[in-house]
Amino acid sequence: MNVFSIEAIKYATETRHYIHTNPELKYEEHGTADLVASRLRRLGYDVVTGLAETGVVATLDTGRPGPTIAFRADMDALPIIEETGLPYASKIHGKMHACGHDGHTASLLLAAEGLAESADRFTGQLKLIFQPAEEGGLGAARMIEAGALTGVEAIYGYHNRPGYPLGRVFAKSGPTMGGSSLYEISISGKGGHASRPDLAVDPIFVGTAVVQGLQSVISRRLSPLESGVVTVTQFHGGNSHNIIPVNASLIINTRDGSPAAYAVIDKELRLVVAQICEAHNATAKISQQMRIPAVVNNAEETEFVIATAIDTVGADKAGRIDMLPTMGAEDFAFYLERIRGCFFFVGNGEDGAYLHHPLYDYRDEILPVAAGMFTAIAARRLAPR
């Protein structure tokens, strides 16, 4: 079930290279979506396009009673200038598949071919979700709103993982990728002249105290048994060389290793900002601009995926991981908030560039590995009872 012909793997590789050469940012994935939809229609899937603007959902209905499961791949690229020099490097300046979504899409398309050919062995329904805007666009949430999960009982997806052996398949039960929040803080003081700070309430000075105080959220307010990060990524204030401004603003990015950690970080961040501003006679307005929850895998589904991986690629190339492999966010979390499932990883090699780097490239060798996992999962979950 996990063995693909040389021709199929070659086609998947060419597809991956084409998508890599023609990257599209979040909600711009029109060309990629057209390619995906056209391929799936040729394979006999019932295809719906235009979900969440550029999303595609393909359904394989066996016509026999059984469960409905889903596989997901993301399609969007990043606003990064590629520096790989590869023959199939991006031809669009400033846009690059620096996270491997080209490979995620190509591997699910490879699996789609094998799954269509084996449909007579299945029961129930299979949905293939090709999602836009994973990179900061909350595409998963919008796909859910558009009905992508209707009737789905369990969902599976994966991410390639640089820094791990090429082709190794692994998963973690429970929290498995970090949640991420984006906050904007507006500090209001009292303007004045630089020569008389005593007559003003300097929001820049207050902001620097906030920057320092925020570090206590992790070091002194979050349990050392939990994971979290608070990073100030922007600080703006003033536009004159001799005037204390009225307002200053900060952009804060937080990461959390679990829903429990998020609850602490969110509460304590707001408290620290409010208390510091009050102590300096300033006021603060805190606005959460974005929230992606932590990826939390279902325990039973994770054990199932690990067992499937061991049978598919061998015990020496598969297993579980007990620590978070990354604090990076992944909006697959939105699916797992609604239904059970598992988000697993496939090693992209130990020596290559990391994700979101101008030198990163998805390794073609793992296309059949990931596709093999999809087909093996379907063979077990949709087997006749």
Active site positions, annotated: 76, 134
CB 78 within 8 A of CB 135: yes
Which tokens go with 288?
């959460």
What gap in Å lies between CA 294 and CA 245, rounded to an integer? Answer: 38
Q: b vs e for 41-65, b when ≥16 Cβ sit within 10 Å of the residue's Cβ?
A: eebebebbbebbbbbbbbbbebeee
Find out whether 141 and 149 touch, Cβ atoms under 8 Å. Answer: no
Provide CB contacts within 8 A for 155, sequence distance 6+. Answer: 69, 70, 71, 72, 129, 149, 335, 336, 339, 340, 341
Dig out the tokens for 54 from the structure. Answer: 């550029």
SS3 content of the chain, % helix, strand, coil (to 5): 35, 30, 35
CB 142 within 8 A of CB 334: no
Give the 3-state secondary structure of residue 383: coil
CB 375 within 8 A of CB 111: yes
Let me know: does 112 contact 45? Beta carbons within 8 Å.
yes
Kindly write down the DSSP assignment for every residue of 159-228, as one continuous string. EEETTB-TT-EEE-SEEEE-EEEEEEEEEE-B-EETT-GGGSB-HHHHHHHHHHHHHHIIIIIS-TTS-E
The three-class DSSP label of residue 250 is strand
Alpha helices in the chain (DSSP H): 6-21, 30-42, 101-117, 139-145, 203-216, 259-279, 299-313, 333-338, 367-381
Question: Buried b vs exposed e over 21-38: b needs ≥16 C-beta within 10 Å?
Answer: bbbbbbbbbeebbebbbe
